[in-house]
Structure 1
Amino acid sequence: MNLRQFEVFHAIMRTGSVTGAARLLNVTQPSVSTVLKHLEAQLRFRLFNRIGGRLQPTPEAQALLPDIDAVFSRLAAVERLTQDLAGGRLGTLSIAAAFPIANGYLAKAVATFLSGRPGLRVALQSLTSPQVVDRVASREVELGVVHEPVGSTEVETELLVRSSIAAVLPADHPLARAPCVKLAALAGQPIVTYLPQNIFRLYVDRALAEAGIAPPIVAQVTVSLTGIMLAQHGAGIALVEPLMLRSLAFPTLVARPLDPPVEFATVLVRPRGTPDSSTAARFVQHVRAVLREEGLLPPEH
């Protein structure tokens, strides 16, 4: 499928007719019909059935739609980017980070970095770690911040900070009385943690297995904040990355480190072979200063 065929297919799916697609694309109805006919011949299956004067998508068309939608979402993003470039609105520093990082200390770092720099513009994207790596590798952003591991050979990484999975639980829970929660004490406790697709789930499962316990996992989540919210509402003890607990107000919850600790690394990600701009280099220094203020890095000596 080429981009023109994508356009025709997408327009018909949006409008439900060849006539509507032609109007949307500002072309003639026969040209849309011709592209659709060639496309179905090329694919060797039908994309639409005509029912009651309208085109009804086949199951094959419905299966294609999410990926085609994703293509047009990215094209729309590129169009907005070119408009920003033409209008001089593009930020001089573009950053992408995993959700809890972007909405935690990185948001604070960006806000305080902008203070006193009225001419600076920053674009901050909150994404999954693989999406961040993809944006950096394609040079859509200058700097990424993600949790390890990073599998791409098209980027370079630099350690930013080491952190740990924690037990997030009500402050009045018996296990919250100690400064840390021993993994063995979680036996029989209802647990909220990540879905298997999340890299942190591997860390949690390994730690529980090494402790010789298999507590019931009552809920699985995509991001840490959802796990914290479930703990807030009494679903169970959340074994998650606790950064959002520091960034948002959860007065009834506490985070206790696990014993033994379940550690992971957070890294800066840059396009391979591309040095930082002077602004990016200053921003990285500022991020480290914010981490020291937050107690997530030891003070400089």
Structure 2
Amino acid sequence: MLTLKQIEIIRAVMVSGSIAGAARLLGVSQPGVSRAMKHIEGSLGIRLFAREAGRYVPTDEARDVFAQIQEVHQRVQNLQEAVSRLERGEDVELRIGSVPSLAQVMMPRAIAAVRRRYADLRMNVEILKIEEAIDYILVGRGECVAMSYRLDHPSIAFEPLAAGNLVCIASARHPLAGRQSVSAAEIVRHPLIGIEPNDPYGRIMAEIFRARDLPYDVVVKARFGSTVAALVAQNLGIAVLDIFTTADLPRDRLAVIEIEEDTRFETFVASRAGTVLSSFAQFFVDRLRAEMQVLASPLRVAAPERPSSGASIP
């Protein structure tokens, strides 16, 4: 039986018409090609080539063999092209989802890395509420979802992405803008934008406020971090957002201030349990995790709380 390497040698001699030409095509030495041809013909028990006017031409009995070799070579070429298209992501669509907080900055960075690696890959990105993510995965609308919260579901598998923390943002014109850190007691002295106690991040601050018996006033609720940031830039109030959302905020218009309490949280990528992500999806997850971990590491260690004038912290 001929190996693919032997088929390649035979075809090189057939195409070039000489041992020297075959050696150049294959990038090997002439003696190596000559020895290989003698071994092939000896194994098959037939002559494949005859020398005519200094050239190697197929013998009559080997013409059918050469026809098959051409067909095998074409099939190998087709296979290599198919693999090459797959490597580029051609004719493939990667479908992924994300909750809004990770979709604003982190997802675009990871997607840019995916596009650089797979130039022809098509992508379909959906922004989902947490409650929408389960159906998105289970009905096969997409491969995975970047999540800010881990659910308990027997058919959904969760893998960690990165740890993060919350920060306070204020207009550059706001009195808090020059501060490096702020406490929960100081935050509630100002009108708040976007705090939703039922959201994962909002729940963190709501628990801190509740534990300290701190009332707070939400003057405007908004779902997306970009909307919250735009409202804060108008100096309508301050807000609490996650570090992944605030990574690209314009610092000439908005101040990002550390929160002194511990506001750490974990993020995850969710996929259907028992399935394996495609190489494209896995590359996306790896790049997303890398982008998030660079931003989040090292996490700030919560500073000790300090009383401020006019307010006491229990």
Partner of 1:204: 205
How far is the alpha carbon of 1:174 from its aligned partner? 3.2
SS at match of 1:194: coil
Closer/same/farther in 2, CA of residues 298 and 187 from structure 1, 3 Å limit: closer
Closer/same/farther in 2, CA of residues 187 and 110 from structure 1, 3 Å limit: closer
How far is the alpha carbon of 1:200 from its aligned partner? 2.8
Is the 8 Å Cα contact of residues 162 and 266 (structure 1) preserved in structure 2?
Answer: yes
Is the 8 Å Cα contact of residues 164 and 264 (structure 2) preserved in structure 1?
Answer: yes
2:130 counterpart of 1:129:
yes
Which residue type is aligned with residue 241 of structure 1? Answer: D
Superposition pairs for residues 126-165 of structure 1, below 5 Å? 126-165=127-166
Is the 8 Å Cα contact of residues 97 and 145 (structure 1) preserved in structure 2?
Answer: yes
Partner of 1:174: 175
2:238 counterpart of 1:237:
yes
SS at match of 1:260: coil
Q: Whole-Å Cα distance in 2 between the matches of residues 179 and 151 of structure 1?
A: 37
Q: Whole-Å Cα distance in 1 between the matches of residues 234 and 290 of structure 2?
A: 34
SS at match of 1:169: strand
Partner of 1:61: none
Q: Whole-Å Cα distance in 1 between the matches of residues 131 and 91 of structure 2?
A: 24
How far is the alpha carbon of 1:128 from its aligned partner? 1.5
Partner of 1:106: 107
Task: Calculate the aligned-residue CA RMSD, in Å.
Answer: 2.5
Partner of 2:196: 195
How far is the alpha carbon of 1:249 from its aligned partner? 3.4
Is the 8 Å Cα contact of residues 172 and 233 (structure 2) preserved in structure 1?
Answer: no
Alignment: residue pair count: 211
Partner of 1:253: 254
Partner of 1:296: 296
Which residue type is aligned with residue 218 of structure 2? Answer: I
- For structure 2, the residue ranges without an aligned partner over 5 or more in a row are 1-88, 300-314
1:22-77 CA deviation, whole Å, 9 max, x = no partner?
xxxxxxxxxxxxxxxxxxxxxxxxxxxxxxxxxxxxxxxxxxxxxxxxxxxxxxxx
Which residue type is aligned with residue 223 of structure 2? Answer: T
Which residue type is aligned with residue 103 of structure 1? Answer: Q
How far is the alpha carbon of 1:207 from its aligned partner? 1.0
Q: Whole-Å Cα distance in 2 between the matches of residues 292 and 163 of structure 1?
A: 9
* Mean Cα deviation higher: 107-116 or 275-284: 275-284
Q: Whole-Å Cα distance in 1 between the matches of residues 262 and 186 of structure 2?
A: 14
Is the 8 Å Cα contact of residues 164 and 244 (structure 2) preserved in structure 1?
Answer: no
Is the 8 Å Cα contact of residues 180 and 258 (structure 1) preserved in structure 2?
Answer: yes
The higher radius of gyration belongs to: 2
Q: Whole-Å Cα distance in 1 between the matches of residues 284 and 209 of structure 2?
A: 38
Q: Whole-Å Cα distance in 2 between the matches of residues 261 and 232 of structure 1?
A: 25
Q: Which has the higher strand share?
A: 1
Partner of 1:284: 285
Is the 8 Å Cα contact of residues 146 and 267 (structure 1) preserved in structure 2?
Answer: yes
- For structure 1, the residue ranges without an aligned partner over 5 or more in a row are 1-87
Is the 8 Å Cα contact of residues 99 and 126 (structure 1) preserved in structure 2?
Answer: yes
**How high is the TM-score relative to the length of structure 2?**
0.60
SS at match of 2:262: strand
Q: Whole-Å Cα distance in 2 between the matches of residues 246 and 95 of structure 1?
A: 22
How far is the alpha carbon of 1:139 from its aligned partner? 2.1
Superposition pairs for residues 49-60 of structure 1, below 5 Å? none
2:222 counterpart of 1:218:
no
Partner of 2:270: 269
Which residue type is aligned with residue 95 of structure 2? Answer: S
How far is the alpha carbon of 1:269 from its aligned partner? 0.3
Closer/same/farther in 2, CA of residues 187 and 279 from structure 1, 3 Å limit: closer
Is the 8 Å Cα contact of residues 100 and 244 (structure 1) preserved in structure 2?
Answer: yes
Which residue type is aligned with residue 243 of structure 1? Answer: F
* Mean Cα deviation higher: 239-248 or 108-117: 239-248
**How high is the TM-score relative to the length of structure 1?**
0.63
Q: Whole-Å Cα distance in 2 between the matches of residues 150 and 94 of structure 1?
A: 21
1:232-273 CA deviation, whole Å, 9 max, x = no partner?
111111123353332353631022121112222210101011
SS at match of 2:111: helix
